[in-house]
Amino acid sequence: MLRISGALTERSVIFKSNIKELKESVEHLKEKRKEFQHLNEKQIYNGYDELYAMGHHWGMHIDTNLCTGCGTCTIACMAENNVPVVGKHEVKRHHEMAWLRIDRYFYGDVDNPNTVYQPMLCQHCDNAPCENVCPVNATNHSSEGLNQMIYNRCIGTRYCANNCPYKVRRFNWLDYTKADIFYENEPGLQEGNKFSTIGNEDTLFGNDPLTRMVLNPDVTVRSRGVIEKCSFCVQRIQAGKLTSKVEGRKLKDEDVATACQSACPTNAIVFGDMNDKDNILNKVKNSPLTFIALEETNVRSSVSYSMKVNNRNEKFDV
């Protein structure tokens, strides 16, 4: 339940329970999900279940019982995908760039509340509301269920960010990586009567060769004025495909691991192919504790979460 502009609005953002009330909470979750799915069946636009049933359909599950809110996944995502660190001044202006954030929710006693940490990233919706509002089709859906971005097609209308119910799309307000300053990117290129010099005070920090070596060469560096977001580490998916092709075998879930999944110290994140019914991902997704954030909006998210269950004894609360 979220408080928005002074009004209480029912939204299926998180579900929580105590171990003593687990049976009742599971039944409540089951009833709510059944209600959401009934509403979603009334849509006027047919889905593409048959299309995504073929080949790969990538998905993710996050266990909120294992997540400690450490933020390691956020840092790993930024390092892997060349996400700029914008500084606290830009964050205060709501110009944050992190593709993955940790949402915190509190419930229970005000003085001694329980906490739920929920990593929130692009949900790669099969019925994505961001795709049908883009005037230049810069964001689109792949046959493997990935919500893709074509950066050199984006014109920065930000309609997709406005239409995203999860608010996980980021707009490049500034030239954080100095990729748009052409003369600075060409050592020795004449600029009036000056030459751009590399390695001294005349060189912008983002254009120093040592600084540029920090960037991941497998991921493009975005320019100013475009929307960017989580890609499910598509470069790692492609690398896994190439590895399995060279070895002459079928692609397995072990071949692909997103940056956030690899870095998570508690193994709270599971990534894999939802069409592989025997893998770990489908086993955890079929758990009675599993739910989808904002399932009632019928965006058909590819990311699911586990209900938060605590074993707290209120008798010991001071």
Q: Tokens for 108?
A: 């229970």
Mean pLDDT of 89-96: 91
Encode pLDDT of 235-249 as tens digits. 999 999 999 999 999
Q: Write out the H or E segment, with its range, that includes residue 119.
A: strand 113-120
Backbone angles phi, psi at 147, to 5 degrees: -85, 110
Residue 97, pLDDT > 90, answer yes
Classify the phi-psi angles of 300: left when phi > 0, otherwise alpha if psi is within -120 to 50, otherwise beta: left
Residue with the two structure tokens 């408080």: 3
- Extract the tokens encoding 217: 């060469």
3-class SS of residue 106: strand
Q: Which residues have a Cβ under 8 Å from the Cβ of 11 and sit 6 or more positions away? A: 1, 2, 294, 296
Phi/psi for 314 (5° steps) reads -65, -15
> Among 108, 123, 126, which Cα is nearest to 60's?
123
**Residue-level pLDDT at 7:** 43
C-alpha span between 254 and 130 (Å, rounded):
30
Task: Match 């025997």 to its residue by tokens.
Answer: 278
Measured distance CA(184)–CA(112) in Å, rounded: 53
Work out the average pLDDT over 100-127.
92
User: Distance between CA atoms of 281 and 315, rounded to whole angstroms?
Assistant: 37
Q: What is the pLDDT of residues 159-168, one digit of tens each?
A: 999 999 999 9
Of 81 and 113, the one with more pLDDT: 81
Distance CA 83, CA 177 (A): 9
Cα 67 to Cα 193: distance, rounded to the nearest angstrom: 56
End-to-end CA distance of the chain: 26
Cα distances (angstroms) measured from residue 195 to each of 166, 177, 228, 247, 252: 46, 21, 33, 49, 51
The DSSP code for 55 is: S
DSSP 49: H
Q: Which residues of 226-240 are buried (b: 16+ CB within 10 A; e: fewer)?
A: bbbbbbbbbbbbeeb
Ordered domains of the chain (ranges, CATH): 2-128+231-311 (3.30.70.20)
Q: What is the pTM of this model?
A: 0.87
Helix (H, G, I), strand (E, B) or coil at 126: coil
Residue-wise pLDDT tens digits, 161-188? 999 999 999 999 988 877 676 655 555 5
Q: Is 161 exposed, middle or buried (0-12, 13-18, 19+ CB in 10 A)?
A: middle
Task: Please count the CA atoms within 13 angstroms of the CA of 257 that sit on its side-chain side.
Answer: 14
